[in-house]
């Protein structure tokens, strides 16, 4: 595990992307990424759920095992799905299951309201990544995705959350959709690194959903993402080319079938 605090002190940006399967995890690992997150975003971009609240523990463990087989260098972090860390004892038990599945660290959503759970995990010797700001597992309660840090009370709450998770033993904290100036303020206030998603450039690192980065989920792209590739378009192009080639060579296929079934046929 890299010393992410030292990276923060040196001003070296931390890079993180999501992966939910072996080939993606292996490709990201070979690319030199610092952190690979098996995120519960798998619910939307892979499993077709409306949001992350339908993702189960068994599904997350399955995808963690797959991703772990492809990772040799990066730190593999796994998201703890909703209702798997309601109590400190449950949080520690769930975290151990992820470690058994191949994760090297775990992440759950929440700040001061989750301190006892975070402490239970870190006291069990399991590295922990925090997540504050917009909490996707609370999206239904909040009526959608909202930028955090627009009011003074929200700023004070975010700072309290950030300091709380640091004191509880987190090695880093994800800031999701936080006002950029507030994210900068939090970053300067902490000894552990902040990893932003939609929270401006002043965080100590950045994380994205890989499907958003490479254009593999074209039906929705967050406003703060500029895709570096258009993989969905390439898949459509390849599929159409296969369809056209197959339909245009039906006679060739019939001939191959005859020759395989009747090797002595001279036609």
pLDDT tens for residues 34-53? 999 999 999 999 999 999 99
| Number of neighbouring beta carbons within 10 Å of residue 258 | 12
One-character DSSP codes across 17-73: EE--SHHHHHHHHHHT-SEEEE-TTHHHHTS--SSGGG--HHHHHHHHHHHHTT-SS
Rounded Cα gap, residues 95 and 79, in angstroms: 9
Which residue out of 176, 233, 255, 261 is catalytically annotated?
A: 176
The pLDDT score that the predictor gives to residue 144 is: 84
Per residue in 7-21, pLDDT tens?
Answer: 999 999 999 999 999
Determine whether 32 is exposed, middle or buried from the number of CB atoms within 10 Å of its CB (0-12, 13-18, 19+): exposed
Contacts of 153 (CB under 8 A, 6+ apart): none
Closest of 193, 185, 190, 174 to residue 135, by C-alpha: 174
Q: Rounded to 5 degrees, what angle do the CA atoms 107, 219, 145 make?
A: 45
The pLDDT score that the predictor gives to residue 256 is: 52
* Low-confidence winner among 51-60, 160-169, 198-207, 253-262 (lowest mean pLDDT): 253-262
**What mean pLDDT do residues 93-106 have?**
98
CA distances from 212 to 13, 192, 209 (A): 20, 27, 5
pLDDT surpasses 70 at 169: yes
For the question of residue 233 being annotated catalytic, the response is no
High-pLDDT (> 90) share of the chain, %: 88
By the 8 A CB rule, do 14 and 204 touch? Answer: yes
pLDDT surpasses 80 at 56: yes
The pLDDT score that the predictor gives to residue 28 is: 98
**What mean pLDDT do residues 58-66 have?**
98
The pLDDT score that the predictor gives to residue 258 is: 45
Average pLDDT of the chain, as a whole number: 93
pLDDT surpasses 60 at 255: no
Rounded Cα gap, residues 73 and 63, in angstroms: 18
């Amino acid at each position: 595990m890299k010393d992410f605090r030292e990276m923060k002190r040196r001003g070296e940006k931390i890079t993180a992307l999501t992966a939910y399967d072996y080939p993606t995890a292996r490709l990201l690992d070979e690319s030199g990424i610092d952190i690979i997150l098996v995120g519960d975003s798998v619910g939307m971009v892979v499993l077709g759920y409306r949001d992350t609240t339908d993702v189960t523990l068994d599904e997350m463990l399955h995808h963690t095992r797959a991703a772990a087989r492809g990772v040799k260098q990066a730190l593999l972090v796994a998201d703890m799905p909703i209702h798997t860390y309601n109590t400190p004892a449950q949080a520690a038990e769930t975290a151990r299951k992820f470690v058994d599945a191949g994760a090297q660290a775990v992440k759950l959503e929440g700040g001061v309201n989750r301190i006892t759970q975070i402490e239970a995990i870190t006291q069990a010797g399991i590295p922990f990544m925090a997540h504050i700001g917009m909490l996707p597992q609370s999206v239904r309660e909040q009526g959608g995705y909202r930028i955090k840090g627009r009011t003074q009370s929200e700023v004070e709450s975010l700072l309290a959350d950030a300091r709380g998770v640091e004191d509880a033993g987190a090695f880093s904290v994800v800031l999701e959709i936080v006002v950029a100036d507030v994210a900068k303020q939090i970053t300067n206030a902490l000894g552990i690194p902040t990893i932003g998603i939609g929270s401006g450039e002043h965080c100590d690192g950045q994380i994205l959903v890989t499907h958003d980065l490479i254009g593999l989920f074209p039906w929705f792209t967050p406003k703060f993402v500029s895709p570096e590739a258009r993989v969905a378009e390439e898949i459509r192009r390849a599929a159409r080319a296969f369809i056209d080639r197959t339909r245009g060579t039906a006679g060739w296929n019939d001939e191959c079938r005859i020759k395989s079934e009747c090797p002595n046929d001279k036609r």
